[in-house]
């Protein structure tokens, strides 16, 4: 299947801040990714338990975020180069693009924790501010198991003030009118602007909610305040062609 981005998708991304792909991974690849997720999650829990910090243990068990996943899994190192991502980069970022960040996000059944409204750019303002977040459903994502919610068009508000609490970095003064859940079938991707306001609810279902979230930026991104190199900086496109 071709994942070349259509003009309709580009227009929707510019106006509303997102579009949703067709399923991008077959059942075999999804099964391989699931096994890698479970392996990495077990490692995170084991390391947290060895450290003995109760809060870290809780987060490891109930809402793990496993960053730099491409360095921890050969399967995910290949996954970040998938056509659905590289075509989005080509259409929305241009001929030169890097993997900016990537993480495994898991919500265990019946107790996976929610995450408040936020913009991804707030976690480390960079230059340029906007990049692509590719929220990928490894299994079915729906309201009861904690799918992502977005506020279409909220990327046009610019970078909002955020306040850190013990569980998340939350945007303040969020107007939730127009918020919608993004329910996805396994392998589908919602590709959105990093300034898009989004959140996810708790997992109150009996299913594990697994999401892979690679993010992409123009090449050689820098930190806004210091001008220093920023992000994973793993080449994806150079001169419009696959780089790695």
Cα 155 to Cα 17: distance, rounded to the nearest angstrom = 6
Q: Which of 12-16, 102-106, 194-198, 218-222 has the lowest average pLDDT?
A: 218-222
Cα 31 to Cα 238: distance, rounded to the nearest angstrom = 30
Q: Is the pLDDT of residue 1 over 80?
A: no
Helix (H) or strand (E) holding 34, with range, is: helix 27-51
Cβ–Cβ under 8 Å, residues 108 and 212: no
Question: Is residue 192 a part of any domain in this protein?
Answer: yes
According to DSSP, the residues that pair with 211 across neighbouring strands are 105, 137
Three-state SS for 146? coil
Question: Is residue 2 a part of any domain in this protein?
Answer: no
Cα 140 to Cα 117: distance, rounded to the nearest angstrom = 22
Residue 44 CB neighbour total at 10 angstroms:
20
Question: Is residue 1 a part of any domain in this protein?
Answer: no
Q: What is the pLDDT of residues 75-114, one digit of tens each?
A: 999 999 999 999 999 999 999 999 999 999 999 998 878 8
Q: Is the pLDDT of residue 234 over 80?
A: yes
**Domain that includes residue 64, residue range:** 7-242
pLDDT interval class at 159 (50, 70, 90): very high
Q: Which pLDDT score, from 0 to 100, does residue 134 have?
A: 98
Question: Is residue 132 a part of any domain in this protein?
Answer: yes
CATH at 64: 2.60.120.620
Q: Which pLDDT score, from 0 to 100, does residue 168 have?
A: 77
Residue 94 CB neighbour total at 10 angstroms:
12
The total number of structural domains in the chain stands at: 1
**What is the pTM (predicted TM-score) of this model?**
0.94
Q: Which pLDDT score, from 0 to 100, does residue 167 have?
A: 67
Question: Is residue 105 a part of any domain in this protein?
Answer: yes
Q: Which pLDDT score, from 0 to 100, does residue 142 have?
A: 98
Q: Which pLDDT score, from 0 to 100, does residue 244 have?
A: 67
Q: What is the pLDDT of residues 110-145, one digit of tens each?
A: 887 888 999 999 988 888 999 999 999 999 999 999
């Amino acid at each position: 299947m071709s994942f070349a981005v259509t003009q309709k998708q580009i227009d929707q991304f510019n106006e509303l801040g997102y579009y949703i792909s067709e399923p991008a991974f077959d059942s075999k690849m999804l099964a391989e990714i699931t096994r890698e997720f479970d392996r990495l999650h077990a490692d995170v829990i084991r390391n947290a338990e060895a450290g003995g910090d109760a809060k870290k243990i809780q987060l490891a068990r109930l809402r793990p975020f496993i960053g730099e996943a491409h360095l921890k899994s050969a399967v995910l190192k290949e996954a970040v180069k998938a056509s659905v991502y590289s075509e989005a980069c080509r259409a929305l970022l241009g001929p030169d693009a890097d993997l900016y960040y990537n993480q495994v996000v898991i919500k265990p059944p019946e107790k996976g924790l929610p995450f408040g409204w936020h913009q991804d750019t707030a976690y480390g303002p960079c230059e340029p501010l906007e990049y692509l977040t590719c929220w990928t459903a490894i299994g079915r994502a729906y309201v009861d198991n904690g799918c992502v919610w977005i506020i279409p068009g909220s990327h046009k508000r610019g970078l909002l003030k955020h306040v850190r609490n013990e569980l998340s970095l939350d945007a303040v003064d969020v107007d939730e009118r127009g918020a919608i859940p993004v329910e996805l079938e396994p392998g589908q991707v919602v590709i959105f602007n990093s300034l898009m306001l989004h959140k996810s609810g708790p997992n109150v279902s009996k299913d594990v909610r697994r999401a892979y979230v690679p993010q992409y930026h123009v090449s050689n991104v820098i930190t806004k305040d210091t001008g220093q190199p920023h992000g994973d900086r793993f080449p994806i496109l150079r001169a419009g062609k696959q780089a790695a």
